[in-house]
Amino acid sequence: MKRLILISILFVIAGCQNTEAYQIAEASQSSEGPKNVWVSSTSAKLKAESRSSSDTVTALPVGLKLNVIALESRWYHVSTPDKKTGWVYRGWVRAEAPEQEVESDDEDSLGSLLGDSSGSSIEADSADSTRSIRGLSPEAEEYAKQSGSPKKFKDALDSVLSMRTKNRDVETFLQKGKIGQYAE
C-alpha cells in the first residue's frame, strides 16, 4: 500500500513540475489582457505601427519584459524597459518568461548566439549568417562507429544537419504566404 501511495505521489510530483515549467501562456486570449508580456520569439521586433510593413524601432531579444499599453487586433502596443514604445505581433510574446538556453559552447553555435534564426539580440534582417552549420558531432560519429551504422545513414544525417535556413528566408517565406504578422 505504502509503495502504491509513494509511486502515485511521485507521478503527481513529476506532473506538477512539468506543468509548472512549460505551461504556455495565453496572453493573446485573455479578455482583459496581461499587464506585462515577455518576448518569446526569435523574430520579434518593435514596430512603429501595428503592421509588419512599418518601420522597425528595434529588435527585441528573447526574454525581454514588455509593458502592455493596449491590445488591438493581433498587435500589442507596448513599451520597453528603456522607454521605447511601439507594437509587437501577438505571436512573438507570452504572458510569462520563456526558457532560454545556450546551444553549446562550440564555435559552431555562434550563429544562434549572435542572433540569426535563434537567440536574436541583433535585428533579424541584418543577420547574414545561418543557423548553426554543423556536421555530425564527435559523439554521434563515435556512436555510428560503435553501433556499426552504415555510411549512408551518416551521410543522410550530415545532409540534414548541413541544411541552411536563413532567418531572412523565413521572413520572406511568411510574407509570401501572408502568414502571421504578414496576414492582410
Partner 1 sequence: MNRRGFIKYIWAAGFFAASPAFAFDIFKALDPQGKNKDVQKAKTIFDGASSIISSATDMDYKSEFAIGESLALEGFKRYGLPSKSKTLQEYVNLVGNSVARNSLRPTISYYFVVVDSPLYNAFACPGGIIFVSSALVKAMNYEADLACVLAHEVAHVGHKHALQSIKRAKFFEGVGKISTVNMKGEDGKKFRDMIGGLQETLFDKGLDQGMEHEADESGMEIAYRTGYNPKGLVRILHMLKKKEEKAKKKGSWFSTHPPLSERISKCENHLKKYPDANELAEVNKRFAEYRRLL
Select 80 or 92, whichever has its Cβ closest to partner 1.
92
- Minimum gap (Å) between residue 57 Cβ and partner 1: 20
Which 3 state secondary structure label does DSSP give 170? helix
Write out the binding residues for partner 1, residues 145-164 only, by CB under 8 A.
146-147, 149-150, 152-154, 156-157, 159-161, 163
- Interface residue with partner 1 among 69, 97, 114, 174 (CB under 8 A) is 174
* # chain residues binding partner 1, by CB under 8 A: 79
- Interface residue with partner 1 among 62, 64, 71, 127 (CB under 8 A) is 62
Distance between CA atoms of residues 92 and 9, nearest Å: 37
Confirm if 11 and 5 have CB atoms less than 8 A apart.
Answer: no
Residue where the block lists cell 518601420? 55
Write out the binding residues for partner 1, residues 83-122 only, by CB under 8 A.
90-92, 98-106, 109, 112, 117-119
Select 83 or 168, whichever has its Cβ closest to partner 1.
168
Cβ contacts of 57 within 8 Å, gap of 6 or more: 45, 46, 47, 48, 84, 86
Binding mask 121-140 toward partner 1 (x if CB under 8 A, else -) reads: ----------xx---xxxxx
Select 83 or 92, whichever has its Cβ closest to partner 1.
92
Write out the binding residues for partner 1, residues 17-56 only, by CB under 8 A.
17-18, 20-22, 24, 26, 28-29, 40-43
Distance between CA atoms of residues 183 and 179, nearest Å: 5
CA separation (Å) from 52 to 61, 129, 133, 153?
A: 18, 23, 29, 42
Confirm if 132 and 111 have CB atoms less than 8 A apart.
Answer: yes
Distance between CA atoms of residues 99 and 165, nearest Å: 22
- Minimum gap (Å) between residue 156 Cβ and partner 1: 5
